[in-house]
Amino acid sequence: MATITSEATVVKNTGSHYMLTALPAWNLFPAVLRGKIRLKGGDSTNPIAVGDRVRYSYEEGTVPSLENPAVISEVLDRKNYVRRKSTNLSRQTHVIAANVDMAYIIATLYFPEIKLPFLDRILVTCEVYGVPATIILNKMDLYRDVATEQIARFKEIYEGAGYRVMEVSAKTSEGIDALREDTAGKICLFSGESGVGKSSIIKALDPNLDPKIGKISTAHLQGKHTTTFYEMYPLCNGGFIIDSPGIRGFGLTELKKEEIALYFPEMLRVTDQCRFAPCTHTHEPGCAVKAAVDAGEISAERYNSYLGMLEEDKKFR
């Protein structure tokens, strides 16, 4: 019997089993991985991630099913991806999502209180792997009128660095229409710390989505074996969301210390003005980055995050 070969996108990964569809159509079918697939330079715990385009095969005259799934033979080249260092695995990394048009990093000033080093590590990772990033400041209904200075400072820091900040409240629907328009026709990653209201935003964007999204325990992220529960959902606006469980720790992938500053856009803009090259922007005389920090052109908060990343890569919370 002849074998049919085609291409599709991975929309769900539950260990050794996958769900695929030929985007933008949403006709899911199961697939398995037989044999080993190695990515170029691959040291990740998962050779295939949600968002990956893959080549698969099945027998002519059959339809892939749970009893007779398609077989994945190749992962096609990625245009980009987001990965984090796996918890308790010193060298391996975990790919969160691949082929992303926009990463939306959801944060809250309070409830839970924001951890800027955590946010900055995600942003640096997006810069490293070529993923555009937008920050969603959620739960605006809780502090719109009581934390105006803090809101203004947060926006000053990150808009000054070159990132867009969208003010949103899933509860009152503030900013939801703008976000729905922004995600139309795109493959989007939604990520953030536990408790920032990610699933509430997703449900506000499209009430028809499975109400159980976002309720998967994050306990697995603490284990040695990083089981993935990432999943893609179709939006009513023609876009697609890759939903990631709330992340409690985000380890940077391997970067040389002299490279880290290159992924802070505001530092990159002035690095070529430093007296010495390379410059660590810590102790060297004539450092343009330190001068920009002193002048308030680069925020002290972002600079402190940078200094933290220069330290030995420990578990950041």
- Per-10-residue mean pLDDT of the chain, 317 residues long, equals 89 87 94 71 74 92 85 93 68 84 94 89 92 96 89 95 95 95 95 88 87 38 41 94 72 76 94 91 94 95 93 50
Domains in the chain (CATH in brackets) are 3-75 (2.40.50.140), 81-243 (3.40.50.300), 257-310 (1.10.40.50)
User: What pLDDT, on a 0 to 100 scale, did the predictor assign at position 41?
Assistant: 43
User: What pLDDT, on a 0 to 100 scale, did the predictor assign at position 256?
Assistant: 80
User: What pLDDT, on a 0 to 100 scale, did the predictor assign at position 39?
Assistant: 53
Q: Which run of H or of E encompasses 203?
A: helix 198-205
User: What pLDDT, on a 0 to 100 scale, did the predictor assign at position 213?
Assistant: 42
> What does pTM read for this prediction?
0.86
Query: Among 312, 314, 307, 311, which residue's Cα sits nearest to residue 120?
Result: 307
Where does 131-235 show beta strands of DSSP type E?
Answer: 133-137, 164-167, 187-192, 231-234
Query: Among 73, 66, 89, which residue's Cα sits nearest to residue 37?
Result: 73
User: What pLDDT, on a 0 to 100 scale, did the predictor assign at position 218?
Assistant: 35
CA pseudo-torsion sign 77, 225, 21, 199: negative
Tell me how far apart the alpha carbons of residues 141 and 154 are, in angstroms, rounded to a whole number.
16
Query: Among 283, 286, 257, which residue's Cα sits nearest to residue 271?
Result: 286
Residue type present at position 78: R
* 293: number of Cβ within 10 Å: 20
User: What pLDDT, on a 0 to 100 scale, did the predictor assign at position 278?
Assistant: 87
User: What pLDDT, on a 0 to 100 scale, did the predictor assign at position 237?
Assistant: 93
User: What pLDDT, on a 0 to 100 scale, did the predictor assign at position 38?
Assistant: 55
